[in-house]
Structure formats: C-alpha cells, structure tokens
Chain A
Amino acid sequence: MAGSNAQDYIKHHLGNLTYGELPAGYVRECDGRDTQTLTESTWTFACSGNEAKDMGFAAFHVDSLAWSGGLGIIMCLLFWLGARKATAGVPSGFLNFVETIIEFIDTQVRDSFHGKSKLVAPLSLVIFCWVFLMNLMDLIPVDFIPGTFSWIMTSFFGWTAQEAYFKIVPSTDPNITLSMSFSVMLLVIFFTIKAKGVGGFVGTLTLHPFEASNPVLKVLLMPVNLLLETIGLLAKPVSLGLRLFGNMYAGEFVFIMLAAMMGAWQFIGAWPWAVFHILVITLQAFIFMVLTIVYLSMAVEDH
C-alpha cells in the first residue's frame, strides 16, 4: 500500500478525515479536481491537509470521533452486560473479567483518592478502559483499515486519495487527548469549588505558593501567585493530554515509518515494536487514569 513516495504515504497516514466549514470565497484546490471558488460558506470534507487547516476551529475529525465513540460504546456495552449479570453469588467467566477490572480500578481509587465521591471511580474506569481501547487500535497494522476505507471511498464514492485520510487511533489525535485532559481540569476546578467553596478556589489560585501574614503584602503577592498557579493549573491538563498524545503518536509514527520503508515486509520490524508497544499502551492508559485520580484528590484535600 506504499504510496507514490514515502512522504505522501506518511502524510496520508497522519491526516485526519476532517469535516468542517470553509468560508465564503475560499478557493478549493483539490488534487484531481478543478479549482473551485466557494460562493458561500460550506460544510464539507477537507480534500487536503491545507484545507483542513484553513477550516480553523469549525471542523471535526470524523475518524477520531467515530473511532473513539465507537470504542467507548463497545466498552460501555461490555461493562453494561457485565453489570446486568452482576450477582453476589459465584461470578461467571465474563463477569469475572469485568470484576477484575472494576476491582483493579477501585483499588487504585481507594489508594489515591482520599475523599468521598461517586464520580471518581467510574470516571477512572472509563478513562483507563477507553484510553486503553483507543491506544489498542495502534496495534492494528497501519494500512488495514485506512487502506480499506481509502479504497472504498476512491472506488465507489469518487473521493480523491487526499480526501480519504483516515486515522484509526484516536489517541494520536491531540484533540482527543487534550479534550479528555481539559475535561479532567474542569472536574478538578469543580471538585475544588465543591470542597472549598468559590473563595477557597480563588484562595488556592492567589494565596500560594508565596504566603504572607501581612495583609498588604498578601495583596501584593496575589498577582504573582495567580500567574504561577494559573500556569500550574493549565500545565496539568496540557501535560496530561500531550503525554498520552506524544507516546501514541510516536508509536504510531514508528509503525508508519516501518510500513513506508519496508512495505509488505513491515512485520519484521513492526511485530517486535508492537510487542513492546503493548506495554506502552497499557502504561499510558494507566498513567492517564492515576494522574486524573491524583489531581482530583489534590483538589479535595487541604494543603
């Protein structure tokens, strides 16, 4: 499936299937099609990386959202099936599996989160399992699904190869990982306000790390503290999201490079890398979950 050249091939694999709004007057220059000027703003699939970029914020990565949503639905259904069979008696095979995961998560939450919340445990469950499943897509050989998709779209729907970008590993999309990590940050803020009140939340942002007992000095130190604490608050989700993204992107990139260089013989390099990558995908899912628990725990604890 190697493209005309390695650069195109890699670009193809790193682009998302983007559906977004192009502004009025935009000149569409798609490969293999006539140049077209839009008379009014249009929602459409981007036919090149540049178009996807020009769509700005008003665009969705359909592949990322579909895969992450699909995997999430599968996950929820599996757990739901397990939950329906939940019994205090002897658990059957599948329930056993579900319970193992639940107990593992529960232990982690109990160890790290020192507050009372009905949200943290299921949140951790979703994060761990969902991120794991999204990462797991990395182990599917890079061309299987994108290649099939590209072939279907170009053969039957008249798409160009540039339009039919398709990424199946949602966690190699920074939108996905940052979205989750910033959701976690919102939860951290929510937990802080719930535990300490709005004043307490403002206090955590303005009264640390430089403390003073003198009121005047306190007020003077507030801007400095606010700056530092705001950076700290934002650094958490950014690092959380980018860590996952970076690990998965790098892993995916190695697979793509191997595929680009070795073609059908990619498995010689890809197989050992996949074996190693099993560790990475599990570890990253685990780290994302544990850090979420720790951040939330810090939010409800007194300093």
Chain B
Amino acid sequence: MNINATLIGQAIWFALFVFFCMKFVWPPISRALDERKQKIAEGLSAADRAERDLELAQEKATANLKESKEKAAEIIDQANRRANQIVEEAKDAARTEGERLIAKAQSEIDQQVNQAREQLRKDVAVLALNGAEKVLGNEVNQDAHTQLLEQLAAEL
C-alpha cells in the first residue's frame, strides 16, 4: 500500500481514455442521439399534421357528400316536375288532337251529308223527270223545264 509512481501511470491512462472518449466516442453517439431526437420530433409533428389533414379531408368529403345529396334531390325534384309537366302537356295535346279529330270527322260527315244531299237532289231530279216522262208519256223538253226542275230540286 505504498504511494508511488503508479499515481502518474494511472493519471496518464486516465487522460488517454478521457481524451479518446471525448474525441471518438461521445461526439458521434451524442450526435446520433440528437439527430434521432430531431427525427422523432419531426415524425411526430408530421403525424400530427397528417391527422389534421385527414380530419380536414374527412370534413371536406362529408361536405361534398352532403352537397351532392342536395343536388341529387334537387335534380330528382326537377325531373319529377318536368315529368308532370310533360304528362300535362301530353294530356293537353291529346285533348286538342282529339278535339281536332272530332271536328275533322264532323266536317267530313257534314261534307258527306251535303254530298249525299246533292246527289239525292240530282237523283231526285232525274227520278222526277223519269217519273214525269213515264207519266206523261212523252218527251219533256228538258231545256224548257230545267228551270222548273232546278226549282224543285232546290226545294228538296
């Protein structure tokens, strides 16, 4: 247990090891730890940001969905209204067309009735003439009686 130059030897060892650790051990590890700390902090903030972004996106999506739903409802409404309108229009058109057809048929009927009446008139004149020829037994001067006959026919 003598105190001797071991003191100096040990001090040299001590200085060497401290110097070594100060130069080659502590700085790289401490730097790596700091860098990792930074990295983790960045990662965490990025995660936070992403979470916020996600929230925003979700909100946006919800808003979009709501808007689309409203639009769709509007469109359906419009379509329904339009359909009703079309049906009404069709109904109107059909009604007018029907009326027109009826009017047309009526006019045709009238025309045919007139035609038939004309025909009848002519036929009656001929028949009356024939009847009269047969009754009189002689020729009736057609020209002389045309006026009379026309008068007769007009009376029919």
- A72–B7 Cα distance when bound, in Å, is 16
Q: Which listed residue, A60, A98, A174, touches B1 by the CB 8 Å rule?
A: A174
B4 lies within 8 A of A58 (CB): yes
A176 lies within 8 A of B6 (CB): yes
Q: Decide yes or no whether A179 CB sits under 8 A from chain B.
A: yes
Q: Decide yes or no whether A119 CB sits under 8 A from chain B.
A: yes
Chain A at the B interface: SS class = helix
Chain B at the A interface: SS class = helix
Contact with B along A77-101 (1 / 0, CB 8 A): 0011011101111000000001100
User: Considering only CB atoms and an 8 Å cut-off, how many residues of chain B contact the other chain?
Assistant: 33
Docked complex: A212-245 residues within 8 A CB-CB of B: none
Measured CB to CB, the closest approach of chain A to B36, in angstroms, equals: 4
- Range of interface residues on chain A? 35 or more
**Stretch from B15-23, B81-89, B131-139 at the A interface:** B15-23
Residues in A neighbouring B8, C-beta threshold 8 A: 179
- A88–B43 Cα distance when bound, in Å, is 13
A125 lies within 8 A of B21 (CB): yes
Residues in B neighbouring A82, C-beta threshold 8 A: 25, 29
Residues in B neighbouring A180, C-beta threshold 8 A: 10-11, 14
Q: Decide yes or no whether B30 CB sits under 8 A from chain A.
A: yes
A183 lies within 8 A of B15 (CB): yes
Measured CB to CB, the closest approach of chain A to B49, in angstroms, equals: 21
CB-CB under 8 A for A76 and B17, given A59-B4, A125-B25, A175-B3: yes
Q: Decide yes or no whether A173 CB sits under 8 A from chain B.
A: yes
Q: Which listed residue, A16, A80, A106, A179, touches B14 by the CB 8 Å rule?
A: A179
A60 lies within 8 A of B9 (CB): yes
- A166–B136 Cα distance when bound, in Å, is 185
Residues in A neighbouring B11, C-beta threshold 8 A: 179-180, 182-183
- A78–B72 Cα distance when bound, in Å, is 71
Count of CB-CB pairs between chains A and B under 8 Å: 131
B18 lies within 8 A of A65 (CB): no
**Stretch from A2-10, A48-56, A202-210, A254-262 at the B interface:** A48-56
Measured CB to CB, the closest approach of chain A to B27, in angstroms, equals: 8
A80 lies within 8 A of B24 (CB): yes
Q: Decide yes or no whether B144 CB sits under 8 A from chain A.
A: no
Residue of A nearest to B21 (CB): A122
Residues in A neighbouring B22, C-beta threshold 8 A: 118-119, 122-123
Residues in A neighbouring B5, C-beta threshold 8 A: 20, 57-60
Residue of A nearest to B20 (CB): A76
B21 lies within 8 A of A57 (CB): no
- A147–B92 Cα distance when bound, in Å, is 125
- A53–B3 Cα distance when bound, in Å, is 9
Q: Decide yes or no whether A281 CB sits under 8 A from chain B.
A: no
Residues in B neighbouring A84, C-beta threshold 8 A: 28
Q: Decide yes or no whether A280 CB sits under 8 A from chain B.
A: no
Docked complex: A175-206 residues within 8 A CB-CB of B: 175-176, 178-180, 182-183
Interface of A with B (CB < 8 Å)?
A: 14, 16, 18, 20, 52-53, 55-61, 64-65, 68-69, 72, 75-76, 79-80, 82-84, 86-89, 98-99, 102-103, 106, 118-119, 121-123, 125-126, 130, 170, 173-176, 178-180, 182-183
Q: A125-B21, A175-B6 given. 16 additional CB < 8 A pairs?
A: A55-B4, A58-B5, A64-B10, A72-B13, A76-B20, A80-B25, A88-B35, A89-B36, A99-B33, A118-B26, A121-B26, A123-B18, A173-B6, A176-B6, A179-B8, A180-B10
A–B Cβ pairs within 8 angstroms, 6 of them:
A16-B6, A18-B2, A52-B2, A64-B6, A86-B29, A86-B32
